[in-house]
Each structure stands twice: as structure tokens, then as C-alpha cells.
Amino acid sequence: MEKKLVYFLCTGNSCRSQMADGFLNALGSEQYEVKSAGLEAHGLNPRAVQVMKEAGVDISQNSSNVIDPEILNRAHFVITLCGHADEHCPVISNPNVVKWHWGFEDPAKATGNEDEIMVQFRNVRDSIKARIEKFVKEGQ
């Protein structure tokens, strides 16, 4: 059976889309081919790498990529993870692509001391994990 391609998009492909990519690869790689990208490539956020490692998922070797129109139009699912990516997503010319928006706060914008910032990263990580678990279980 052909794996369905899921393309996660956010602004910089540094936090949220990387977390979603990591969790879907960990939980659904037998069903899905997973890719992620951003409107820009901001590089992998070290805090995102850290909180994913705490959850048992290694994303440290992932790369930060800009949206590839070929992948965008080949995907079965295009899932935006922030409002900015949802609003500025390039036009998808393939009418068969299913586009969804799953909005999550940007943990990179968290303020406070390091402990408070890490709490925000963990909260977003846990929310993304729950949404990925639902997607793997229900296909939506």
C-alpha cells in the first residue's frame, strides 16, 4: 500500500512543523511519508529538539526547509500549524490535496525565564502529540 504524503507547514520550519514531523514519523511512519517546511527556513530550534528528546523523539538531524511546490502539489495532506502559514500558503494547484489548519501557539515567542519558556515548549509539544495521535488513529 502506498504511504500517504503529509506535508506540515509553519512560518520558519523550526519548532511546530518539526515537532509534528517528528511525532508523525514516530507514530505513523508505516502509514505516512512525512515532510515539513516553512515559508522561510529559520533553522532547527534547540529548545524544540530538547523537548522532543524528552518525549523520546530525536529530531536533531532534521533540516529546516522552505516550501517545495512539487512536494506541496504531490502531498495527500497539507497541514498548516500556524495562522501565518495558513494565510500565506502558496497556491496548491492539485485539487486532490486535502488542506487542513491545526493552529498552535508559537513557543519560540514565549517570554519569561528559561523554565517558563520551556513550559511553553512542552505544552505546545504535548498538544501537537495529542493531535498527531488523533490523526494516526482516525485519519483526520
Catalytic residues: 10, 82, 89
Q: How far is Cα 29 from Cα 9, in angstroms, rounded to an integer?
A: 18
Q: At what angle do helices 16-28 and 46-54 cross, to 10 degrees?
A: 30
**DSSP one-letter string for 81-98:** -SHHHHHHPPP---TT-E
Q: Which amino acid is at 21?
A: D
- Asked if residue 61 lies in contact with residue 37, where contact means CB atoms within 8 angstroms, the answer is no
